[in-house]
Every structure is written in structure tokens, then in C-alpha cells.
Amino acid sequence: MPKTKRRRVIVDDSALAAEFGRRLRESRRRAGLTQQRLAEGRYTKAYVSALENGLVKPSMSALTFFAERLGIPPSQFLADAAPALARLEADLLAASGEWRDAVDAYEALLERPADRAARAEVLRGLAEALYRLDRPAEAIRAATEASDLFAGSGRAADAALARYWLAAALFALENPAEARAILQEILAQLRGGLAVLADFTVRVLVALSEVESHDGAHRAALAYLEEARGLAGDLDDRRRATLLYSLATTYRDAGDLEAAIRAGTQALVLFRAAEAERETASLENEMALAYLAVGDTRRAAEMVAEARARFSELGDTRWLAYVADTEARVKLARGDLEGGLRLADEAIGLAEANDNPKALLDALVTRARALIAADRLADAEATYQRAAALAREGPSAARRREVLGAWADALARLGRHEEAYALAREALTAD
């Protein structure tokens, strides 16, 4: 499912507005910026002045924007704030991509007494954070309870948002049929006039595209994305870039690599214009894979180097595991077996440190292929065994088929046809 920015959250506390204004003014002055310069690109000088004087309450998007412009963490605006602001701090952690800390914060909130509405909102935030940490089973429980609570309170729009994350978690657990049914139900509500977020229809269409692409229905997937693109005129640069990113990924999955590169290039321009560093870096990594698939190892190496630089600056070691794996694939495509093995081992270490089974599986398969190429057959088999064990434990049948099939191919090339046949049969029956 597409992983877009969180919904806007409005702070409902005038004391917080005053405190935020004071800290914003102090941070701006330390940075040597005028109100006009701070606001440039999204807000106005008058809005910054109103914020600094506590006349208006800051939004989540404003907190994030000004923190990025000033080069400070958003939570600095709320350091030592009253316990009543814990919900906002949890949302800030999520908006900043600090998903582990966000889960801890949301779970702490659930331990406090709260009314049904407040509990539902916390559960919805928790569901998204768990999904983004590749913990879909837990996300399903949180999203289901949130959806039920919202529906019971007559809050259809909020229930739809919760069910969106429910669909995402179901899809992650290889249940595309149920995910599709939920998303189509939400889309029918939206077409019937349900008002949610400005970009929510686009997000649902992109999610449906991902489900169809997973099932190999690339024509249907592209149709959903083209419908979404038709609605993109009302989106800001960042959201249009996210849509183009999804379009690039779908084209790549469909085998249209030139179209994938075109859409990805357009998305990169928009992400960079929006100063969306994390999204830019993840797309650069995807673009590297697309260039690698068409045999352009030079551009692939350039793209993945930019991704590494951005994620290193962000301190995002979770994503660096994927980047190191991509770098390893580029090295192998260039015949640098030693460099490929070194980077695959780096990817494995980063994935293990971040408890990221998906990245770990990717890196193990890359390492095994490198070992085969280096004629280190015993080490390759041990690595494939570890990868297969991890794939068998995981929720994705598609990944099990992919890993077992790759191992079977490797055994067949080594002349071990009986073992290869057994693995191929297991891959075909994986569910």
C-alpha cells in the first residue's frame, strides 16, 4: 500500500499555541531567518507572525514544515510539554517517520483512560505505525477496533481511514482478495459523496492499483493509476510525486521499464522541489533498480549513491538496508563479486539491527547469488537455506515462491536436479 504522509492534526489547546509561538520565534532568530524567509514556499509572513504571537493554533503540517526549514526535530517545539500533549507528540513522531517511537507513544496512550473517540483515533495511528514497521498482524487488530469504534459513533469518514490501514495490513499478509473488497467498498463510499481527506480518493485508487499489480492484472492496475492521475490536479507537489512514484513502480512490475523511468524521473523532480528527503531517497533507490533492469549500471550506481547519501544524512538505517542491497546488486552486475558480497553483508547487518525481515530476505538472496557467482557453493547453499527458512516463516507466499524458485534454479545449474525439482514443487504449492 502507498505510504503517504499522515493526516492533518489540529492542536486544540491555546496554551500550546502560545508556547509553540514562543519556541518558533526563538528558533527562527537563532537560525537568522526573517518571518518572510521562514514562510517561503508554503505559508505567508502574516501566518508566521500570527503563530509566533499565539493567535492561531499550529497544524501538524506547519510543525513539520517549520522544523524542516529550521533544521530541528519537530518534537523540539514541544519539549517538556504537559502530559495532555502526549497524543500530539505521538502523531509528531509518526509524521517524522519515527515509527518505533510512535508505536511506544500510542501504546502508552492506550494505557490511559480515554473515551471511545479518543481511543479510536489512537488505535488508527497505531495501526499505521505498526503497518509501516512490517507488523501487519498487530496492525489488523488495531485497525479493526478503530474502525468498529468509529462506525459505532457514526464517524464514517474516520472509519474509512481506519479501514484503509486494515486493507493495507491484510494485503501485507497476502490476503489481496479481502484487501480489494475493503478498498472497493471505501471507493464506492467516496464516489457516493463521502468526504474524507483531500487526497484520500487518490490514495485508495493507488492502493487498489497495488493489489491488482500483485495479482498480475497490470492493465487494471494502470487504469486505477490513470484515474488517480486525473485527480492529481488538486494535489500538492509532494502528493503528485507520490502518485508518480506508484505509477513508476507499477510500470516496472509490468515490464515497461522505459515508462517506469519516465514516471520515476518526474516524481524525483517533484520530490526534490518539495524538499521531501526521505521520499526522494526511496525513489532514487527504486530508480536504481529500474536502471539496473535495463542494463544501465552507470545510472543505477549514480542513483543508489544519492539514495545512500540522503538516508545516511537522515540517519535512517532501516532504509539503508535496502540501499546496501541495491548497491550489492549493482556491483554484481558489474562483475565486482567482492564488492557485492561486502555490501550484501552490510545489508544483512543493517536488516538484523533494525529487525527488518523483508530487507534481510532480500539481502540473503543477493548474498547467495554472489556466492554462486564466486563458486563458493557450500556458503551459497547455507545462505539459501537461511533465506528459505525466513521465507517459510514469513506471511508472503509470493516471497516464498520467489526464494524457493531462486534456490531451485541455483541447484539446477549445479546439476542437482532432484533437489531442484523438490524445491520447485514446494515453490509452486506455496500459499
User: DSSP letters along 119-141, please?
Assistant: HHHHHHHHHHHHHHTT-HHHHHH
Place of cell 563458486: 375
User: What pLDDT is attached to residue 7?
Assistant: 38
Distance CA 207, CA 185 (A): 13
Amino acid at 152: G
Ranges of H-type helices in 334-396? 337-353, 357-373, 377-393
Distance between CA atoms of 371 and 355, rounded to whole angstroms? 24
Q: What is the largest CA-CA distance in the chain?
A: 76
In Å, how far from its chain's centre is CA 153?
30
Q: Which three cell numbers mark 100?
A: 518505533
Distance CA(160)–CA(120), nearest Å, equals 12
Cβ atoms of 91 and 105 within 8 Å: the answer is no
What per-residue confidence (pLDDT) applies to 19? 74
Query: Which domains occur in the chain, in start order?
Result: 1-97 (1.10.260.40), 104-197 (1.25.40), 311-431 (1.25.40.10)
Rounded distance between C-alpha atoms, residue 80 and residue 128, angstroms: 26
Q: What is the DSSP string of 318-351?
A: HHHHHHHHHHHHHHHHTT-HHHHHHHHHHHHHHH
The pLDDT of residue 75 is 66
Gap between the Cα atoms of 172 and 166, Å rounded: 10
Contacts of 19 (CB under 8 A, 6+ apart): 78, 81
CA 397 – CA 174 distance, rounded (Å):
7
* pLDDT at 14 (0 to 100): 62
Cα separation of 218 and 214, whole Å? 8
Indicate the pTM of the whole model.
Answer: 0.61
Task: Report which of 207, 218, 205, 208 is spatially closest to residue 254, judged by C-alpha positions.
Answer: 218
Question: What pLDDT, on a 0 to 100 scale, did the predictor assign at position 45?
Answer: 85
- Residue 309: per-residue pLDDT: 95
For the chain, first and last CA: distance in Å?
Answer: 20
Helix count and strand count (H, E) for the chain? 22, 0
Q: What separation in angstroms does the CA of 98 have from each of 124, 148, 206, 311, 315?
A: 16, 27, 24, 14, 11
Beta partners for 10? 59
CA distance 347 to 129: 23
CA R_g for the chain:
23
Nine cell digits for residue 199: 487526497
CA pair distance 371, 327, nearest whole angstrom? 16
Which pLDDT does position 273 carry in this prediction?
A: 74
Mean pLDDT in consecutive groups of 10 residues from the start of the chain, 431 residues: 43 62 87 89 85 77 83 70 64 81 90 84 95 92 96 94 96 90 96 86 89 81 83 73 80 79 82 78 88 91 94 90 96 96 96 89 94 89 90 78 86 85 82 64
Across the strands, what pairs with 59?
10
Task: Please tell me the predicted confidence (pLDDT) of residue 272.
Answer: 76
pLDDT in the model for residue 166: 97
